[in-house]
Structure formats: C-alpha cells, structure tokens
Amino acid sequence: MEDIQRPRFSLHSRILIGFGVGALVGIAAKQLTESGTLSPQHLDALIDNVTAPIGRVFLNLLFMVVVPIVFCSIALGVSQLGAGKQLGRLTVRTFGAFIATSTIAALLGLALVNAFTPGAGFDPGDQAGLLERYGDEAQQKQALAAEERFWPDVVVGIVSRNPLRDAVEVNMLPVIFVAILFGAALSQLPAQQSKPVNQVLEGVASATVVIVGWAMRLAPWAVPALIFDVTARFGWQIFEQLSMFVIVVIVGYLIQLFVVNGMFVRFFAGRRPVAFFRTMTPVLITALSTSSS
C-alpha cells in the first residue's frame, strides 16, 4: 500500500520536468501569438492573472521564511552555547564565512564575465524588451550598490539602527548580527526567563521549516509558471541569446556551490560534502530553476 501512495517521481525530478514543460509551452504560446492564432492581449491576460501570480506566491513563500528561520536558528544556537569563547568563535566564523564566500563569489563572477563576455551580440529588440520589463529594478539595485562603500557603509551598517527595516529588506548581515546579540543576551538571563523565549524561537524555526515544505510542494507548478512567463514573452530566441549568460551563471553556481561551499562544509562544519549536497538536492534544483526565470 505504501508503494502505491509513493510519488512516481522525486521532487527535484518533477521540478526539472516542469521547467522543460513550462519552456516548451511558453515557446508554443509565443509562436501562436506571432502567427495570429493567439492574441497578445489574451497572452498578457493569461500571464498577468494566472501564471505570474502562481510564481510570485511561490517566491514570496520562500522569501517570507528566510529572515525568521535564519534569525531564530542563530539566536537559539547562540543562546544554547552561552557567552564566552564559544560565542566569540561562533561570531567570528559566521561573519568570516559569510564575507569569505561572498567575496569569492563576487571575484568568481567578475572573472567569468570578463573571460566569456556573455552579453556580447545581444539582439537590440529583445534587449529593449527586457529593459522595459526589468530595467527599473536593475537600475535601483545598481544605484544602491554604487552608493555603498565597504568601509564604512557596509561594515558600520552591520550594526543595525532599524532591525525591522533590515528584516523587511532582507539585509542578512544586520539580521545575523542582531540574532547573535539577541542570543548572547538570552544566554545571560536566568533560566526561568530565557527558557520560554528559547521555546518560542524553536517553535518559530520549526514552523518555518513546515512552510518551506509547503512551498516545495508548489514548486513543480510554480517553476513552469515562472519559465512560461519568460518564454511566452520572448520566445526561443531568449534562450539562444542568453545561452552563454546561462552557461556562465551555471558554471559559476557549480564552482561556488560544490568547490567553495563544499570546502567550507568539509573543513568548518565537519560534514561530508556528498552527503550534505544529497540532502539539499530538491532545494538546489528549485533555486537554480527560479533564478533562471
């Protein structure tokens, strides 16, 4: 009876299948639009009212739990470790790993982009369409990045003046710092005061894991919806023109994930990278699929 109820395909297999189906259906919709069989208005209505909301709900569910699960996990761990040398080592390792992996990722990305120039030869028409749809968001991110300097803006900004704003904007370094401070403060309280708070943190962390599980059930439907939105608007050409960019991004992901992060998992977490990545496969496939959209 258990074999009958077991899903035929694993979660990451269904996500990959959905990725392909979404791309094919989107390309078909683009062809029907160009041939006049499907009106652009009907296609826009389908995307705006059906597929785009499904994709946004899925992404919002994932983004929703990032801050609470990181904050609760770190604060709870620090509270249980207590203050002193262990806390100091944890703080140094946490920020050291975050800054090291971020720096390596940035250098790796710059090296790959300069080596392969993936944006060369991009079609002006498709470029204008992408800029029209995503240009404002890209300009906002570029403006914020240009205004910040590593010292003092980024470093001083770790000590947050408004943790709620940083949580809303998903600024993870200040969130991590506040979580460490909060956990350290809990470790200094009497047990009768800190225990209820630790139980709340543990409960919130467990609840967010459940929400992630619910979001992952939606992934085989949301990922094809996200891919459909892109291919239906820009067609197969978007894959041809972005193929080098996609290859560069995937190569960078794989190097960062398996080489850089694998070394951190092995030498700092003391775990076997193969076993770690095997348990992370569904999440990794989902992240790669959604980032491609």
DSSP code string of 52-66: HHHHHHHHHHHHHHH
Q: Check pLDDT > 60 for residue 150.
A: no
pTM of the model: 0.64
Range 234-253 average pLDDT: 75
In CATH, the number for domain 9-292 is 1.10.3860.10
Residues 23/238, Cβ–Cβ less than 8 Å: no
pLDDT digits (tens, 9 = 90+) for 164-219: 888 888 788 888 888 988 988 888 888 899 899 999 999 998 999 889 888 888 88
Residues 23/239, Cβ–Cβ less than 8 Å: yes
State the pLDDT at residue 1.
40
pLDDT digits (tens, 9 = 90+) for 253-265: 888 888 888 888 8
CA-CA distance, 118 to 245, in Å (whole number)? Answer: 5
Distance separating the N- and C-terminal Cα atoms of the chain: 38
- Other C-beta atoms within 10 Å of 64: how many? 14
Helices (H) and strands (E) in the chain, counts: 14, 0
Range 273-290 average pLDDT: 65
Boundaries of every domain in the chain: 9-292
CA-CA distance, 148 to 151, in Å (whole number)? Answer: 8
- Other C-beta atoms within 10 Å of 26: how many? 27
State the pLDDT at residue 291.
52
For all residues of the chain together, what is the average pLDDT?
Answer: 78
Residues 236/100, Cβ–Cβ less than 8 Å: no
Structure tokens at 279: 């348990």
pLDDT class of 3 with cuts at 50, 70, 90: very low
pLDDT class of 286 with cuts at 50, 70, 90: low
pLDDT digits (tens, 9 = 90+) for 71-125: 998 898 888 876 556 666 766 776 777 778 888 888 898 898 888 887 666 666 6
Residue type at position 185: A
pLDDT class of 153 with cuts at 50, 70, 90: low
* Beta strands, E only, the chain: none
CA-CA distance, 217 to 80, in Å (whole number)? Answer: 33
122-154 exposure pattern, b = at least 16 Cβ within 10 A, e = fewer? eeeebeeebeeeeeeeeeeeeeeeeeeeeeeee
State the pLDDT at residue 237.
67
Q: Check pLDDT > 60 for residue 268.
A: yes
pLDDT digits (tens, 9 = 90+) for 25-72: 988 998 888 888 888 888 888 898 989 899 899 988 888 888 998 899
Q: Check pLDDT > 80 for residue 132.
A: no
